[in-house]
Structure 1
């Protein structure tokens, strides 16, 4: 129940355990062609979606080195650890980061971004997260797209955690680049990074002078056009990706989003029924972030759930260490997983001295699921 790596379906594990095939064969080209088309449907775009053998952070780095040059200005929406990471990568490459520091737990204000774009007419790109995993916040990408698309800048969104859980209509909303990773809503082990590229963003590739070799998008797009990769791909992970994309598309992208929304709402209702308080003001459907009661050790909640109940959740990061815990409802997960997690949480909270009425959280989750089944 952590926000990544998430659980992998048994049939996908078996697919990845199959006999390895060479990546320069017609068999693999056929699989890669299939994956490339399916990724576009899941990403909500008609634009190419390139796949890298890297974590999502590799794709984040690629989204900077391929579109910007040293001395360029970029607006970085920082409302958590992963929004801040874009700024850290910019700093490493000599890109001037104009930081918009959003209070942790809150979503960004598109009007503030509009003001920053007006004050800084030379800005080349705006970077945001869809779901900020460290806080459990979802940002309003639709509003951001409406503003940035009217300028000469491109909008780049880290959807590593939010993809398949929070709505993302890339082309309709004017998102130029979406960054993704395999170990979240795509339900695979870590090791694949993804990046969609709009025609507007592709023009920026021609003027970028930042150093790049493995993450050279010009080479990646050239190979993509032939259903190939410039370098050795992660063959087994891509075989698994082909299988998991079939599962997502069989369920339906909208149905997958609806399932995450249902699990998220039940989790939020359950923890509130236990007298606990949510941390984010605009919660993501990928993960529920809950404030730790003042008399409880937040790290102990995570440890006891993992070691004694066999349930892995996540604690807080940075300034939120020990102050929140995070229960994900992301990827290969259903109602019974959620109910089990709430039951385990009730046991652990009771052991740690938190006072509440047993069964209130579990009962509320079951009530929510029963209502949604009508």
Structure 2
């Protein structure tokens, strides 16, 4: 089983902090090693020179037959064996080792026979100097890493905060709030500081604001066009309807009246959608029992629809709009599905189900789309679009799905009292 990383580990701030930490640690380690090696070589070199100088003096006294000073002797105790073997072989050398519990720098050279002349120099001070240097390197590296992390965290947090703001605005736009804008101060001409350059985040924010403005303009133009067309069609259709009523009874007259009625219904639907798009709809709230309301909707539809009331509740809603939503769902089930069509009331949830082929994939993924058809199939017109818009006005949630055993299911979730 693969280990699961925490959610925050995937954020930009966490990745930036990890990168800064690794780079600071690597840089501190590199500088620490370089300083340690340089100072150690210098300290050891000075101690070696001092030991060799004393060895030279001790050799002169030994060859002159004088007594050796303290710290010098022939095969003294504590002399490291490798250094003694080197000296017996005729060479001079130095070596650091512990002698009597203290660091000692040894220097040895050949004496007469198979013996070695050696001197011992106390190396404790130099060892303490190197240890103190190592501790200073560790402390300074820790402080430098901490300060760098703090400064980096502040800088990265400012960037990620602006990115989160941009993402939040993008989500609002995708949810339909086209008035949402980032308004980054680096791009706003009213507050833009000429001395502060525009960075990549500001460029993304400016592009998002520009895209939202363009989408809003196109959507408003489309809404105005729809409303204008519907209004322009309304007057001639009214006259056409009056003229059709004056025609003598006949089969052609019935066809004309039917097509005129269809055009009037389409025009009214377009006007209703334009009102929903502009947000001009206002609720007229009242308390209604869902069971009797569902019965009225089915009777008004004039279709063979079964009503099942599992649990009846009272809701505060706009009766006319709720009946419009349920009526459109029932009409859509009969028009695009197959019977039996069942309208169920279970508490504040009203479900309309048919036993046809179900909703198409695009509708389940993106919701109702006006007049869309796919693969030569018959489209869903404006009924579901109006139902979804009126449900949003009611503060309800309209969900579309397909039953496992087949058939389309539309569920309207209302707020119960």
Query: Is the structural similarity TM-score above 0.5?
Result: no
Q: TM-score range by the shorter chain?
A: under 0.3
More helix by share: 2
Structure with larger Rg: 2
Q: Give the structure-2-normalised TM-score.
A: 0.20
Q: Give the structure-1-normalised TM-score.
A: 0.22
Between 1 and 2, higher relative CO (CA 8 Å, sep ≥ 6) is seen in 1
